[in-house]
Amino acid sequence: MDLEWIATLERASHTAVPAARTAFDGPFLLRGFLGGTGRANAVSALDPAPDPALEARLPRIEAAYARLGLPARFRSTPLDPPGLEAALLRRGYRPESETAVMAGPLEGFAAPDAALEILPAPDPDWLAILATAEYQTPQRRAEKQEAAAMMMVPAAWLLLRIEGRPAASGQVAADGPLLGFFDIATDPAFRRRGLGRRLLAAAADWGQSQGAATGWLQVSATNAAAMNLYEALGFREVYRYRYFLRAG
């Protein structure tokens, strides 16, 4: 496992998904927003070296989130210090399902699409398509709406219309040579028409125009159909992560 490459993708992920509040406690990056999306409201370790202060650090991190009125949520990645998972289990945390992080070259599938709409921020049509693919709490929706003004790298919210109707959407963030893909969704009425692949190709073309050469994305490890699509485009799994939350 290439920890340097994993660290690069982890840094890119934090850049691409902004949070209103950030702080460090030793090797841990704390991020807080409105309590919606996982990554913007979670703790992630950025150094896999042993952390002799780990046991003392965890209650301090929990207190920081309590002050924000948020539950402490830990993202467990290959960059965790030794013993983190065991320490979290002892404190009553339980793991959620795994997410795979995949990466691959854009060159093999990028293609322009005249029907692509490039939006500077999510609009109601974009959000409506996303709502068909994920459960949107008011907090998640608000975070996605506010994220556009918080981005410090080039980003775009992409929309494909079919016969005038919004059909597929996605979001991308270009971080130097890296292009992150997020929120790829197709309205159920337009599925099985290849719109997901088409949107990804157009998004990759936009990324190349921003200087990116390598794409990366996150997908549920149980979503075999999506993983098969991404593998067909040349993406390969790099690592997995999962969240730990206190039971109950």
The ranges assigned to domains in the chain are 3-98, 107-212
CATH architecture assigned to 107-212: 3-Layer(aba) Sandwich (3.40)
Q: Is 111 helix (H, G, I), strand (E, B) or coil?
A: coil
- Chain-centroid distance, C-alpha 116: 22
Listed as own residue / partner, the contacts of 83-90 with beta carbons closer than 8 Å and 24 or more positions apart are 83/50, 83/51, 83/54, 84/45, 84/51, 84/54, 85/244, 87/54, 87/55, 87/58, 88/58, 88/244
Looking up tokens 């402490």 gives: 72
Structure tokens at 119: 């939006």
Determine the Cα–Cα distance for residues 196 and 189; give it in Å rounded to an integer: 13
Listed as own residue / partner, the contacts of 207-212 with beta carbons closer than 8 Å and 24 or more positions apart are 207/106, 207/110, 207/172, 207/174, 207/179, 208/106, 208/107, 208/110, 210/154, 210/174, 210/179, 211/174, 211/176, 211/177, 212/106, 212/174, 212/175, 212/176, 212/177, 212/178, 212/179
Determine the pLDDT at residue 67: 96
Determine the Cα–Cα distance for residues 160 and 169; give it in Å rounded to an integer: 6
Determine the pLDDT at residue 196: 92
Please report the DSSP string for 193-219 in residue order: SSHHHHHHHHHHHHHHHTT--EEEEEE
Relative to beta strand 236-246, strand 155-162 is: unpaired
Helix, strand, coil share of the chain (percent; to 5) = 35, 30, 35
What are the mean pLDDT values of the chain's consecutive 10-residue runs (248 residues total)? 96 97 98 93 97 97 97 97 98 95 97 95 94 82 94 97 93 98 93 93 98 97 93 97 90
Determine the pLDDT at residue 248: 64
**Sign of the CA dihedral 59, 138, 130, 94?**
positive
Among candidate residues 63, 64, 57, the one with its CA nearest the CA of residue 22: 64
Determine the pLDDT at residue 10: 98
pTM of the model: 0.94
Relative to beta strand 155-162, strand 116-119 is: antiparallel
Determine the pLDDT at residue 1: 77
